[in-house]
Amino acid sequence: MSSAKPQLFEQTSQYRHWRFTPTSLAQLRAANNKQGVERVLQGLREEAQVDNDRNTLETRISEATNNLLSPEEELELIDYYLQVTVAYARMYGKGAIFKPEALNNIKSTAVNFMKRFYLHNVVFDYPPKSIMLTCFYLATKVENSFIKIDDFVRPLNDVVDKNKKGVRTKNEDILDLEFVVIQSLQFELAAHHPYRPSYGLYLDMQAYIENNLLKEVYDRTQYYIDQSLFTDLIFYYQPPQIALEKNLDIDMYLTQRFEARSLELLYPILDDIQEVIANRINASVVDKKEVKERAALIDRKLILCRNPEKNPNSKLYRKKIADRDEAQYVSDSGSE
């Protein structure tokens, strides 16, 4: 007897390579953080050799050690910039740069990319403020909403110019990191999220739920999906499961659409999803100013514990670039 054919989602790279348990995800992040700390300290030792200054080395290592971010602080900073990503999506939406129906796809894919990126990298090497924009721009391409880099950057700089504060974004700030991001995503750019299946469920439910209630259910589902973007649910469950918010008066649909045995397996999943999203909603009640100040504090700590090998402003980075260019020049000269 042949085994049952896998569901469509189970055949995707997201299912095969980007699914975790809460425990395995926490262990992965802790291990990445530990390795990142080791790279920071090693980079500082190498940079001290560039200056040949032991006093500077001791001072810098002391500063870095006192400001090293924990895995929890890394996550907190990443989460803040995920929120900024969603805010940028609204900004682009108001500017009619992307079609409204495309924005949810772009937004969720950008968030997905950023979450995946930091399963293989740490903020010591790549601060999320930079990675965020590259993930967003890459998402526009993946979701068939590509725009020129000049048009993408212009609204960002318009905000800086209007507020007369902040740093303008250059095209290369985004483009120079594109391959780094794609490589970290293991060249797997298909991102599946709950928005698409939520609309499919909306259509399917029309035969089971009264229209006025169904419209309310669908609108509330979009809100729950928005909140789910800031959780790790996409690493635990399938997108259609996240789109099935159990607390939205859909029992009639579920009992008629699924067999009893399937519901026995499905309900615990939906209960967990509901709990995670409810916790996220409760946590988001925190004052936005407080969240921003906390992120700024972590950002300031990050400045003192950046890995100099990956920091374009460090002497070690500039020396390695110069050494590489010189080696390339010698190689090219020798082949003539």
Rounded alpha-carbon distances, angstroms, from residue 63 to 59, 301, 303: 6, 9, 10
* pLDDT of the residue at 328: 59
Quote the CA–CA distance of 207 and 194 in Å, as a whole number. Answer: 21
Q: Could you write out the DSSP letters of every residue in 266-295?
A: HHHHHHHHHHHHHHHHHHTTS-HHHHHHHH
Report residue 263: phi and psi, to 5°.
-65, -35
C-beta separation of 174 from 153 below 8 A:
yes
Can you give the pTM of this predicted structure? 0.87
C-beta separation of 113 from 139 below 8 A:
yes
* pLDDT of the residue at 247: 66
- Residue 12 DSSP one-character state: S
* pLDDT of the residue at 308: 85
What are the residue ranges in the chain where pLDDT is below 50?
1-3, 329, 332
Quote the CA–CA distance of 128 and 51 in Å, as a whole number. Answer: 29
What single-letter amino acid sits at 76?
E
* pLDDT of the residue at 326: 62
* pLDDT of the residue at 2: 41
C-beta separation of 307 from 125 below 8 A:
yes
* Chain segment 272-306, per-residue pLDDT in tens: 999 999 999 888 777 788 888 899 999 999 998 99
Closest CA to 32 of 166, 143, 137, 126: 126
Quote the CA–CA distance of 34 and 71 in Å, as a whole number. Answer: 9
- Residue 237 DSSP one-character state: S
Report CA 23 to chain centroid distance, whole Å: 19
* pLDDT of the residue at 39: 93
Quote the CA–CA distance of 278 and 226 in Å, as a whole number. Answer: 12
Q: What is the 3-state secondary structure (H, E, C) of 143-190?
A: CCCCCCHHHHHHHHHHHHHHHCCCCCCCHHHHHCCHHHHHHHCCCCCC
Helix, strand, coil percent content, the chain, rounded in steps of 5: 75, 0, 25
